[in-house]
A and B are shown apart, each in its own frame.
Chain A
Amino acid sequence: MRFGDRVACVALGLCATQASANLLDELGVELVYDDNLTRAQLARDIKGDLALAVSGEAGPRFQLTDYDSLSVKASVTGTKYRHYEGLDNLNAGLALTYRRKFGLGPYVPQFALTGSATRLEYDSRLRDGWLYAAEAEASKRVSDRLALHAFVRSERRESDHTPERVVPFIRANVFDLGSRSVGIGADFACAPRYLVSVGYTWHRGDIVSTTQRNLPIFLASSAIAADPVFGNNTFAYTMRARTGVASIGVSREIGRQATFGIGYEYRNSRADGGIDYNGSLFRATYLYGF
C-alpha cells in the first residue's frame, strides 16, 4: 500500500470514529498580572504588568474505542499588555492528544499523551518563533470531591530571528530554549460549585532574564541579545535554571458550562552563580466550555 493510500485509510477510519466536532470547544478571557515579567533579580530591573488574554480552541475528537480517544485541537490566544507593548502577542497552536481511560466510570485512572506546536507572534520580533511541546499526564478522580493529576513535559522553543551579537563568541538567539518539567496537582471541591486547585511544578531548563548590564548574569548566561521591550540598555540573557512554581486557585462554576476563577502562582528560579529570581502571578479567568 502506498503512503497516500495509508493516509487516506487512516483519515477514513478517523471519520468513521468521529465523536465530536464543535465550531468552538472553549472560550476564555483572562486578566493576568505578572509582577516580574523580566525574570529579574535586582529591584531596578524588575518590571510588572497587567495583560488581557482572550483565547479560543476547537477541534474534533475521535473516539477510537470505548476507552481510547484522539483529539486534534487548534487554539488561538491573543494577549495585550498594558505597558509593554512589545510583549503583545498572538499565538496559534495545534495539539494532538491521545487519551486512554482504564475502565468504566468517572473514578478510573486516565492517561493522556499530547504533542503540540504553537506559532508565537510578538510585537517584538526577538520573541517570534515556534514552541514545540510533548506532555504525558496521568489523572484520577479519587472521590466525588478530589481529583489528582501528574505530568511530565518537555518543551523546545525556536526563534525565527537571530539578532546581532552583543558579545562576540556568545550566541544571540536568546529565545532558542529547551526545558523539562514535572508537575503534580489536585482539584478539591470545597462546595458543590467551588473547586480549589493546587499544583506544584519542578522545571529544569532555560529561562530568559532581561536586565541592565549585569556581570554575574553575564557569566551565567549562554546567550545575550539587546531587548528593547523593557527600555533602552536592557539585555536578554539566557541561562539554565531550576524553577519551582507553586499555584493555588479557586474557581466557581457558573451554570453547567462556564467557570470564573482567581488564581495565584509563585515562581522561584535558581541559576548558576547564586542567581535567584522570584515572581508572583495573579489571574482572574473566565472560561466557557461548549
Chain B
Amino acid sequence: MCTRSLKMPARYRRSVSAGVGGGVLAALLALLLAAPDATAGEIRAAVRDRDGKPVADAVVVAVPAAGTASASHPGVAEEDQRNKEFVPHVLPVQAGTRVSFPNNDNIRHHVYSFSPAKTFELPLYSGTPASPVLFDKPGVIVLGCNIHDWMVGYIYVSESPHFAKTGADGKATLGGLPGGDYTLRVWHPQLEGGEQATARQLAVPSSGAVDAATTIGLVPDFRARRAPTPGRGGY
C-alpha cells in the first residue's frame, strides 16, 4: 500500500524563474520551497465506497474557512492521450491552471468539452497543441474525443490550492496546510449525489496530521464501450 503525498498533483509543474547569475539564489529558493514546512498540518484522507472498498481517482479538496485567497500561482498541467485513453483519467488542478493536451498516440484526436465550467474544442490534431487551455472557473470538466467515443477524462478545477487525488488504496494526503478550520469535500466521476453532500468541517492542527475518512456512494459507469461488440447485424 502506498500513500500518495501530494501538495499538488503529481503531474503538476511549477516553474521557478531565475535571472542571469541568479542560479545559486534560485537553487536556494527551490530548496526552501521543497523543504517540509515544520509548522504545516496535513490531512490524511481515506475514501471508501459503501462496500468498504477503497475508491481510486477521488479528488479530496480542503477549503480554508478563512477563505482561499492564496498567493500561489498555478502552473501548467498535462492531460495526455495514450493508447486512445485520457491519461490521467482524473486530473485535479487549481483554478487558473493551464492544461496542455499532448497527443502521444500515432493517430489524431479531437478533444472537446461541453461542460459549463469550460467549453472548448481542439479539432483534429497530433503532437502537442501550441497553446494550453486555461481552466479558470472551478467545476468539473468532462473531456471527450470525437474520433474515439469511449475516451472520457475529467478535469477537476478546484477553487482551493489544497487538494489531492486518491491512489488505488483510496488514500491521499493533503500537506502543507496552515492550521485552522477547513471544509473538506470529496468528488469522484461516479459520485452519487452532489459534491456538496460530502462536505464536512475539519480542524487542522498547525503541525501534525488529522485523519479524515469519507464514505461515498458510486453510480454505475455506462460510458461507451471500447471493445468490439459481437453479433452486430449480418445475415
- Min CB distance B190 to A, Å, is 9
CB distance from A199 to the nearest CB of B (A): 6
Q: Are B230 and A283 in contact (CB under 8 A)?
A: yes
Chain A residue numbers with a CB within 8 Å of B85 are 256
How many residues on chain A are close to B (CB under 8 Å)?
A: 56
Complex CA–CA separation, A149 to B230 (angstroms): 14
A63 to B149 CA separation, bound complex (whole angstroms): 14
| Assembly CA distance A19 to B146 (angstroms) | 13
> How many residues of chain B get a CB closer than 8 Å to chain A's CBs?
31
Contact partner, B220, options A66, A153, A191, A199, Cβ 8 Å:
A191
Whether, in the assembled complex, A258 has its beta carbon less than 8 Å from a beta carbon of chain B, the answer is yes
Q: Which residue in chain B gives the minimum CB-CB distance to A193?
A: B225
Contact A66 B229 (CB under 8 A): no
Binary interface profile of B, 83-123, with partner A (CB < 8 Å = 1, else 0)?
00100000000000000000000111010101000000101
B114 near A105 with CB under 8 A, answer: yes
B233's partner among A104, A137, A288 (CB-CB below 8 A) is: A137
Which residues of chain B in 165-220 are interfacial with respect to chain A, using CB atoms and an 8 Å cutoff? Answer: 220
Q: Are A106 and B149 in contact (CB under 8 A)?
A: yes
17 more contacts with CB within 8 A, not counting A30-B230, A63-B108, A285-B230, are: A19-B108, A66-B110, A105-B144, A141-B149, A144-B222, A185-B232, A199-B231, A247-B231, A249-B231, A251-B230, A256-B85, A256-B226, A258-B227, A259-B228, A263-B231, A283-B230, A289-B227
Q: Within 8 Å CB of B228, what residues of A?
A: 26, 28, 259, 287-289
- Of chain A, the residue at the smallest CB distance from B114 is A105
A contact set with B: CB distance below 8 Å: 19-20, 26, 28, 30, 61, 63, 65-67, 69, 101, 104-106, 137, 141, 144-145, 149, 151, 153, 155, 179, 181, 183, 185, 187, 189, 191-192, 195, 197, 199, 201, 203, 243, 245, 247, 249, 251, 253-259, 261, 263, 265, 283, 285, 287-289
Q: List 16 A-B contacts (CB under 8 A).
A: A19-B107, A19-B147, A66-B124, A67-B146, A105-B146, A106-B224, A149-B232, A183-B233, A185-B232, A195-B225, A197-B230, A197-B231, A251-B231, A256-B85, A263-B231, A287-B229
B51 at interface (Cβ–Cβ under 8 A)?
A: no
Residue pair B114, A197 in contact (C-beta under 8 Å):
no
Do A263 and B230 touch across chains, with their CB atoms under 8 A apart? yes
Q: In the bound complex, how far is the Cα of B233 from the Cα of A197, in angstroms?
A: 10
Report B-chain residues with C-beta under 8 Å of the C-beta of A191.
220
Question: Of A141, A192, A254, A259, which is within 8 A of B230 by CB?
Answer: A259
Contacts of B108 in A (CB 8 A): 19, 63
CB within 8 Å for A195 and B235 given contacts A19-B147, A144-B223: no
B interface: dominant SS? loop
Measured between beta carbons, the chain B residues less than 8 angstroms from A66 are 110, 123-124, 146
Point out which of A69, A106, A258, A263 has the most chain B C-beta atoms below 10 A from its C-beta.
A106
Q: Is the interface of A mostly helix, strand, loop or mixed?
A: strand
Residues of B near any A CB (own CB < 8 A):
85, 106-108, 110, 112, 114, 121, 123-124, 144, 146-147, 149-150, 220-235
Is there an interface contact between A259 and B112, defined as CB atoms closer than 8 Å? Answer: no
Task: With a 10 A CB-CB cut-off, give which of B106, B110, B121, B231 has the most chain A CB atoms.
Answer: B231
B230, A106: Cβ atoms under 8 Å?
no
Cα A283 to Cα B231 in complex, Å, equals 9
Chain B proximity of A129: nearest CB distance (Å): 17
Q: Smallest distance from the beta carbon of B2 to chain A beta carbons, Å?
A: 23
Residues of B within 8 A of A254 (CB): 227
Please name all residues of chain A whose beta carbon is closer than 8 Å to the beta carbon of B110 when the two chains form the complex: 66
Is A145 a contact of B230 with CB atoms below 8 Å?
A: no
Cβ of B230 and Cβ of A249 under 8 Å apart?
Answer: yes
Check A257 against B226 for contact (C-beta < 8 Å).
Answer: yes
A contact residues around B106 at 8 Å (CB):
20
Complex CA gap A69/B233 in Å reads 21
Do B144 and A106 touch across chains, with their CB atoms under 8 A apart? yes
Residues in A whose Cβ lies below 8 Å from that of B144: 105-106
Bound-complex Cα distance A208 to B194 (A): 60
Given contacts A63-B108, A259-B227, A259-B228, contact A185 B146 (CB under 8 A): no
